[in-house]
Amino acid sequence: MIALLIRDLRLATRAGGGFGLGVAFFLVLSALVPFGIGPDRAALAPVAPGILWVGALLACLLSLDRIFALDHEDGSLDLLATAPLPLEGTVAVKALAHWITTGLPLILAAPVFGVLLQLPPAAMPWLVLSLLLGTPALSMLGAFGAAITVGLRRGGLLLSLLVLPLYIPTLIFGAEVTRRGAEGAAVQTPLVFLAGITLAAAALIPFAAAAALRINLR
Amino acid sequence: MTLLTVEGLAVSRGGLRAVEGVGFTLDPGQALILRGPNGIGKTTLLRTVAGLQPPVEGRITIPDDAVAYAAHADGLKPALTAAENLRFWAQVFGGDGVAAALAAMDLQALADRPAAALSAGQKRRLGLARLLVTGRPLWVLDEPTVSLDAASVARFAVVIRDHLGQGGAALIATHIDLGVAEARVLDLTPFRARPGRTSRPSGFNEAFA
């Protein structure tokens, strides 16, 4: 499993791997919003948590179809399915690799982009914490969508349509943590829900996605 | 000990039965070559034996973790070098012998070349070298010689012979003469499924096709 993780990370960081694409998209979005809404703090600060979370979510979505599609195209997925690794483990590892290459850079970049959007300094730690708890669920749910649409030509759009509704709970609670953090209110309830969604996704998705893969490989 | 027993096997592709009533056994040291016209279901049968799809009817008996499957696609990552590709599969299968596998398929000189820079025949050789690092006894090969030149086919025949000599077995679908004299040949034409009967678990397949 570690070999698979290392391979996926290596592939993502080599030429054409798409590493950094998510962060670049996040930057573009965070830089464009102030031009659209206007730069003053009174207008930007209230919407900043929501924009940052929507941006992180869309950036995550960009690279989802690569989780399984590339391995399916070159035949690796068939070979992985016949390898001694359980397919559930393969799904979990590939979702983890997606999170490390997409989610983790977003978390590190988020405070910088928060400044662009006039996010109050008090909210910064909460933004980082909510992303840290929430983005693994995005990668997991995305792996499930990618497993369902693997092998479909132009499956990317269908994947987005399937996955975005599943992202809504994470988005709601993640943005709520950041918003409450900005106001100095209690953040415990949304934080617990956010962590709960992530844990549930991490526990259940590998089995669901592996089942979807088995059907698609037939 | 028998490596592979197939009894009364029927397989389906896209909800239609391809071949039915196929039966054979493979003992260590044996090779079986599947022949038959295009579309009769050679690939489907091999995928079923490899465990990628369930049989419609019949039974396949294989010891656990015995199959190494090689399909039309080689499963190579263009951004990784030849040696890195092999090393990955060796780690996944818990085998080793990357250098020996490269040597067996005459790829040492290309070991540090990215797979993207290999020719079609070289990629094929690398894909076949993967079989050696899996350490698995039963090779299930689907048209292994596509895009190989005559010298490489002969080299691969030697590799298969060595594998059989070490107690392995091979199930090969191919149209050309591999030059593995001891291999038995099974022509699938008489096993073509009678038309009109659809396979039972077809609905699910069609929904996702």
Whether residue B99 has pLDDT greater than 80: yes
**CA pair distance B91, A6, nearest whole angstrom:** 11
Q: Do the beta carbons of residue A44 and residue A116 sit within 8 Å?
A: no
Whether residue A189 has pLDDT greater than 60: yes
Asked if A78 lies within 8 A of B205 by C-beta distance, the reply is no
- Residue B1: pLDDT band with limits 50, 70, 90: confident
H/E/C letters for each residue in chain B? Answer: CCCEEEEEEECEECCEECECCEEEEECCCCEEEEECCCCCCHHHHHHHHCCCCCCCEEEEECCCCCEEEECCCCCCCCCCEHHHHHHHHHHHHCCCCHHHHHHHCCCHHHCCCEHHHCCHHHHHHHHHHHHHHHCCCEEEEECCCCCCCHHHHHHHHHHHHHHHHCCCEEEEECCCCCCCCCCEEEECHHHECCCCCECCCHHHHHHHC
Q: What pLDDT shows up at residue B209?
A: 41
Q: What is the pLDDT of residues A122-177, one digit of tens each?
A: 999 999 999 999 999 999 999 999 999 998 888 888 999 999 999 999 999 999 99
Mean pLDDT for chain B? Answer: 86
Asked if A78 lies within 8 A of B73 by C-beta distance, the reply is yes
Residues of B in contact with A153 (CB under 8 A): none
- Nearest of B161, B144, B160, B191 to residue B8 by alpha carbon: B191
B84 min Cα distance to partner chain A (Å): 9
A83 min Cα distance to partner chain B (Å): 6
Asked if A217 lies within 8 A of B76 by C-beta distance, the reply is no
Q: What is the pLDDT of residues A92-102, one digit of tens each?
A: 999 999 999 99
Residues of A in contact with B73 (CB under 8 A): 73-75, 78
What ranges do the domains of chain A cover?
A: 19-217
The stretch A4-15 carries a mean pLDDT of 85
**Count of C-beta atoms within a 10 Å radius of residue A31:** 12
Asked if A10 lies within 8 A of B71 by C-beta distance, the reply is no
Asked if A4 lies within 8 A of B50 by C-beta distance, the reply is no
Asked if B79 lies within 8 A of A76 by C-beta distance, the reply is no
Chain B interface mutation, best of A79, A94, A213, highest count of B Cβ atoms under 10 Å: A79
Chain A interface mutation, best of B88, B124, B136, highest count of A Cβ atoms under 10 Å: B88
The residue length of chain B stands at 209
**CA pair distance B146, B120, nearest whole angstrom:** 9
CB contact B63 to A (< 8 Å) = no
- Residue A179: pLDDT band with limits 50, 70, 90: very high
State the count of interchain CB pairs (< 8 A) between A and B.
74
CB contact A11 to B (< 8 Å) = yes
- Nearest of A160, A172, A171, A83 to residue A135 by alpha carbon: A171
Q: What is the pLDDT of residues A22-80, one digit of tens each?
A: 899 999 999 999 999 888 888 898 899 999 999 999 999 988 888 898 899 888 999 99
Q: Do the beta carbons of residue A155 and residue A71 sit within 8 Å?
A: no
- Cα angle: A78, vertex A141, A100; to 5 degrees: 80
Asked if B88 lies within 8 A of A7 by C-beta distance, the reply is yes
Q: A1 versus A36: which is more confidently predicted?
A: A36
**pLDDT > 70 fraction of chain B, expressed in percent and rounded:** 93
Q: What is the pLDDT of residues B2-33, one digit of tens each?
A: 889 998 899 988 878 888 889 899 999 999 99
CB contact B60 to A (< 8 Å) = no
**CA pair distance A107, A178, nearest whole angstrom:** 13
Residues of A in contact with B91 (CB under 8 A): 2-3
CA distances in angstroms from A145 to A72, A91, A106, A156, B31, listed in the order given: 14, 11, 21, 10, 41
Q: What pLDDT shows up at residue A65?
A: 84
Strand partners, B61: B5
Q: What pLDDT shows up at residue B196?
A: 63
The stretch B83-101 carries a mean pLDDT of 88
CB contact A218 to B (< 8 Å) = yes
For B87, the closest chain A residue by CA position comes to A3
Residue with tokens 């465990």: B51
What the block records as the tokens of A19 is 């590493």
The stretch B131-151 carries a mean pLDDT of 90
User: Burial level of B48, CB count in 10 A (0-12/13-18/19+)?
Assistant: buried
